Amino acid sequence: MNPACLSSIAAAIAALLSGCQSAPEPAPVRNVAALPTMERIALSANACWFKSGDAAFKAYRLAPELNSFSGRPRILLVKRNNPEARPLAVIQAEGHPAKVDAFGPLFSEPVGTRMTGDIKRWMAGEKGC
């Protein structure tokens, strides 16, 4: 057999074999709209900051306001003993992809740096504390 014929046969076999391989699974798509983003942040904040018994958050309570008609779902951190008082931290999102804002006096406290880092990780889709 001549080399051109062998090369054609090898190419045909390679094409047949590649057709038998399964296509790679697509990576799961993370919803980056405001509401799903804030839901992820709220669930993680509740688990990591409050349900874990973290002493840094013992004086506070999480107040989610995810059903927002303004298109800006948000969560508030308020004083545990005075939840009606002005929030100490507000984390809110709007748009698609979500633009997240976090502000309030608690972000100026030592725990604020940690909160900012946690929020950024959770926005990116990471889980865990």
- pLDDT tens, residue by residue, 36-51: 999 999 999 999 999 9
Question: CA-based angle 124:128:129, to the nearest 5?
Answer: 105
Q: How far apart are CA 6 and CA 1, in angstroms?
A: 7
Return contacts of 110-113, CB within 8 angstroms, 24+ apart.
111/56, 111/57
Question: pLDDT band for position 66 (50/70/90)?
Answer: very high
The per-residue pLDDT for 125 is 87
Amino acid at 5: C
Higher pLDDT: 3 or 124? It is 124
13 or 74, which is more confident: 74
**Residue 9 pLDDT exceeds 80:** no
Reported as half-sphere exposure (CB side, CA atoms, 13 A), residue 30 has a value of 14
- Least Cα distance to 85 among 106, 54, 116 occurs for 106
Sequence-ordered list of residues with C-beta below 8 angstroms from that of 33, at least 6 positions apart, any chain: 95, 96, 97, 98
How high is the pLDDT of residue 5? 46
What pLDDT does 1 receive?
53
Q: State the average pLDDT over residues 94-100.
A: 93
Supply the pTM of this predicted model.
0.74
